Amino acid sequence: MGFKSLWLHRLRSLLTMLGIVFGVASVIAMLAVGEGASQVAQEQIRRLGSKNIIVRSVKPALEQKATGQRSRAIEYGITWEDATRIRSSIPDVEVLVPNRIIRDVVWNTQWRVDGQIVGTVSWYPEMRQLRIIEGRYFTEPEVAGIKNVCVLSINTITDLFPNGSPVGKSVRIGSDYYKVIGIIEDEGGIGTASQSQNFLVQTSETKNTTERRSENLSYQGKMGKRDEGKGPGATPQYRIYIPITAAQKRFGETLVRRTTGTFEAERVELHELIVMVNMENRVEEVARVVDSILQKYHKQRDYELTIPLELLRQAERTKQIFNLVLGTIAGISLLVGGIGIMNIMLATVTERTREIGIRRALGARKRDIILQFLVETIIMSGTGGLMGIGLGLFIPYLITYFASMPTIIRLWSPLVAFGISAGIGIIFGIYPALRAANMDPVEALRHE
């Protein structure tokens, strides 16, 4: 019966339902986008390691414009000594990974990429939870023996070795050749969007930017900070991993950068130091100790600390706020949809006053009339809800397809959305239904 009268006013019912359809669809789509984004962020952070503290060398702001002193190299950053100090003075530190990161062009005959050469130790992949895709990583003896071997991140392969597997072949960096022994997963993780790739994996190489973080930005609130000009769709990080000893030997301590018209030399012993703490709940404490040790030996603040665990918590907080905002928006849109339904139902009740009178005269009780109109509203909002779910499941797909943003649809989100829409139908259907039922049958029968 309810279907019939709704079907009779197909267009009107459909238009009325649209409010609910879009409300529900937007709830699902927004939740999916939110979940997707937060999942990626959390995955990124988790990859950095929840037990890790990352110390990076940062070019200090004061020394940057040493006017006219082009010949002198700028010396800054964490040193081997720092690493040793941290290792020996904090018992909770389990593993240390020193890295040197150098920017250079990597050649394979005529193919080239602008890569980041990461000089590191043999246990680096383990620390960063990176998967070896092909071949192997270099070993300790290879590090000790200063071997010219390298491992390529998977994204370099397409540009550098378009004609098949690079394992066993060589690449040239500067005047040295390195044997490719393996392929490793990108640090951003396989299949994640480029947007979030730059999210946390910041390069430690210092850029010629004047904008530098202030002192108080120590190891908090780094979420969402990005290098300039590296928005979504920026070129991915091509990483080439070589033994740290080789990096030291072949590239030297002093790095020369050519920027337009000037040479800039800088001396950095270590670009990055990853400190792994034995227990997750000690991470923050150890970070503070590390900071104070470094402070003692560094005149200026030429390093920064990143604590993935801290970021993870921050990400969770951000997600909560995000969900709250989304919930409010979705709630408002559903409310608007509900008011639309109520509006139409009130009009319907007036329009069908005579029918109500007839039904009452033929024996319908008040509750029969209430039920009749309520069922219509619920059918309307329920159908709208189902259509909304259909649309809501489709939109994230479109978003992923066109905007290449990851989306995740949780099972509960369509269920919740549908429940809310049905609830809205009941809440906003009750008043028109009551109004219909409380009409005086005599008056209703006389209604033209």
Partner 1 sequence: MNNCVIKLEDLKKNYKMGSVDIYALRGINMEILEGEFVSIMGPSGCGKSTLLNVLGCLDKPTEGKYYLNGCDISLLDDDTLSDMRCNYLGFVFQSYNLIPQLSVVENIEIPLYYQGVSPNESRKKAIEIASRVGLAERLYHKPTELSGGQQQRVGIARALVNNPLVILADEPTGNLDSKSGKEIMDIFIELHTQGKTIIMVTHDENIARYGERIIRLKDGLIEKDERVLSKIGATT
For partner 1, the binding residues (CB under 8 A) are 4-5, 8, 354-355, 357-368, 441-442, 445
Tokens 């139409």 sit on residue: 344
- Whichever of 294 and 433 has its CB closer to partner 1, that residue is 433
Q: Give the strand pairing for 176-184 and 170-173.
A: antiparallel
Closest CB 441 distance from partner 1, rounded Å = 5
- Whichever of 9 and 46 has its CB closer to partner 1, that residue is 9
Q: Which 3 state secondary structure label does DSSP give 192?
A: coil
- Whichever of 288 and 366 has its CB closer to partner 1, that residue is 366
- Whichever of 72 and 367 has its CB closer to partner 1, that residue is 367
Closest CB 404 distance from partner 1, rounded Å = 50
Structure tokens at 370: 């209430």
Closest CB 14 distance from partner 1, rounded Å = 18
Closest CB 425 distance from partner 1, rounded Å = 21
Structure tokens at 323: 């969900």
Q: Give the strand pairing for 93-108 and 272-277.
A: antiparallel
Tell me which residue of 105, 20, 35 sits closest to 407, measured CA to CA: 35
Closest CB 415 distance from partner 1, rounded Å = 32
Burial of 446 (0-12, 13-18, 19+ CB in 10 A): exposed
- Whichever of 200 and 364 has its CB closer to partner 1, that residue is 364
- Whichever of 275 and 437 has its CB closer to partner 1, that residue is 437
Q: Measured between alpha carbons, how far is 138 from 147 in angstroms, rounded to an integer?
A: 9
Question: What element of type H or E holds 33?
Answer: helix 10-48
Closest CB 15 distance from partner 1, rounded Å = 19
* DSSP per-residue letters across 381-430: HHHHHHHHHHHHHHHHHHHHHHH-------THHHHHHHHHHHHHHHHHHH
